[in-house]
Structure 1
């Protein structure tokens, strides 16, 4: 496993796109601007969806950026090797993606007025999505059997570490002015209200027609057909989408098709223990 990852302070980062140098740049050298917007997620928690929605909010519904610029260029990853080249000279507002926990943000973040949009997803669904992703991504270790991957996920022995630690690092700042906490589930259930909330948080007053355009473009099937978002440009020897697409289902509750009753109960018991005292009202089933 270690041959595929950069291991830093116990965290696994995929070596295919991340290096010690890129991590050092993100933490030590990156200069955060007041106008920056960070999209923060735990892996497989709606990141690509947010990389589609937020640019459309800033373009006032103009589809040009999401239909002509690959998502990893339109909303680059802070921790990736190409971050410096894509972001250093980019005019504000810069839209930036990361899977970092709160303490991993650049040192200059706390002195800025930059904003964070955080998207959470049911950890069982994030686990299932990650399980399938590991089986198509050559730069990640093979997922193995589902029960094996379940144990690794619960132990935090997966890329970017523990889902529980990720949530616990961000949840305490949920009431800060710079921070907006969203869930994958509420976005799917009421996309209009969530897009409106996002627009207000980002200082953009969106017309009803603009919101309609954003909702239409960011429906799962439309995104799945968008070559700028579905990673179809990635060679098959790196990301093999022959048997499973990168954008796979985009639904809530797919975990029920994978977990046995015993596995679900075991997961729930770990969840209850790990989240004890956090006053976190989501995902207790």
Structure 2
């Protein structure tokens, strides 16, 4: 199923036709959740792959065999993508599912369900940069053009999967309507991977022993995932994803947006964020705390020399 140039429009949101059809999107909206299901929810480029690894390793009690032998899209399929029904037919045990869909499209399906929902969010400046680079290599996504044009589309929600602002606010503001809901940020995972694994294992009611936790932590470190072909999307053929134009797992850092955004773009984005997220209680880390502390240390060290001069 190529359909690289096809765009599906569903409920006013555009989706890449390579992976989505009207039937697959309706299948997701009408999905029958089981109480033992775990649903990972993200906006694209917000830590989806990372959480898929964490959930797999927690459920396998730190044993990396499954993450090293089974592609992530096969062990945690995207609910709205066309291949999901076939994957679920062949699956055994509790199901793990993934979605980029907004809350309002799945609210009816989740109503009354005890399925566990893990929502991962990431600061939108880093999301925009990561999504921009992904557009460059993914042939099923539109050519992004210059970053300034892509950023404008991103802010307006005129990109595949719709508005970041609407998606994030939709899920976070309706957390109370979901029986089992865990909200975690990409930045939390980056700053305290072990602690994040403990939160996830507790939420999934699968506490890990220390050695199991250590193994899981190693298995879902950025360096391990970047080299794992079951995770890094190098299994995807060149005609679908041009690996010469970048890597799926690019940097995995906090605050890398500063290397792409101009000062004017950053200030304009801040204004939009303040307006659109005024009623949201979510807090984001915008810069790498370690790099910020290092910069401050360098400035403090240089100040006496400058003053002396």
Contact 2:67 2:230 in 1 (8 A): yes
C-alpha displacement of 1:51: 1.1
Contact 1:36 1:92 in 2 (8 A): no
Q: Secondary structure at the match of 2:246?
A: coil
Per the alignment, residue 180 of structure 1 pairs with 182
- In structure 2, C-alpha distance between the alignment counterparts of 1:284 and 1:187, rounded to whole Å: 14
Q: Secondary structure at the match of 2:202?
A: helix
Per the alignment, residue 112 of structure 1 pairs with 113
> In terms of mean alpha carbon deviation, does 169-178 or 36-45 score higher?
169-178
Structure 1 unaligned spans of 5+? none
Pick closer, same or farther for the CA change 1:97–1:153 going to 2, 3 Å. same
Per the alignment, residue 213 of structure 1 pairs with 215
Contact 1:61 1:213 in 2 (8 A): yes
Contact 2:222 2:252 in 1 (8 A): yes
Question: Normalising to structure 1: TM-score of the pair?
Answer: 0.95
Q: Secondary structure at the match of 2:127?
A: helix
C-alpha displacement of 1:278: 2.4
1:169-223 Cα distance to aligned partner (Å, 9 max, x none): 0112335541000000010101111110110000011111111111111111111
C-alpha displacement of 1:162: 0.5
The answer to which structure has the higher helix fraction is: 2
Query: 1:36-47 to 2 correspondence within 5 Å?
Result: 36-47=37-48
- In structure 2, C-alpha distance between the alignment counterparts of 1:105 and 1:92, rounded to whole Å: 23
C-alpha displacement of 1:59: 0.5
Match of 1:204 among 203, 206, 211: 206
- In structure 2, C-alpha distance between the alignment counterparts of 1:283 and 1:173, rounded to whole Å: 22
Contact 1:37 1:94 in 2 (8 A): yes
Asked if 1:53 is matched to 2:33, the reply is: no
Pick closer, same or farther for the CA change 1:31–1:89 going to 2, 3 Å. farther
- In structure 1, C-alpha distance between the alignment counterparts of 2:69 and 2:286, rounded to whole Å: 40
Per the alignment, residue 71 of structure 1 pairs with 72
Contact 1:37 1:114 in 2 (8 A): yes
Q: Secondary structure at the match of 1:111?
A: coil
Pick closer, same or farther for the CA change 1:51–1:284 going to 2, 3 Å. closer
Contact 1:103 1:169 in 2 (8 A): yes
C-alpha displacement of 1:284: 7.3
Contact 2:123 2:286 in 1 (8 A): no
- In structure 2, C-alpha distance between the alignment counterparts of 1:183 and 1:63, rounded to whole Å: 23
Per the alignment, residue 237 of structure 1 pairs with 239
- In structure 2, C-alpha distance between the alignment counterparts of 1:188 and 1:166, rounded to whole Å: 22
C-alpha displacement of 1:93: 1.0
Give the RMSD, CA atoms, in angstroms: 1.6
1:132-179 Cα distance to aligned partner (Å, 9 max, x none): 000001111001000000100000001110110011101123355410
Q: Secondary structure at the match of 1:235?
A: coil
Per the alignment, residue 195 of structure 1 pairs with 197
- In structure 2, C-alpha distance between the alignment counterparts of 1:275 and 1:14, rounded to whole Å: 27
Larger Rg: 2
- In structure 2, C-alpha distance between the alignment counterparts of 1:108 and 1:24, rounded to whole Å: 11
Asked if 1:97 is matched to 2:98, the reply is: yes
- In structure 1, C-alpha distance between the alignment counterparts of 2:179 and 2:191, rounded to whole Å: 25
C-alpha displacement of 1:109: 1.9
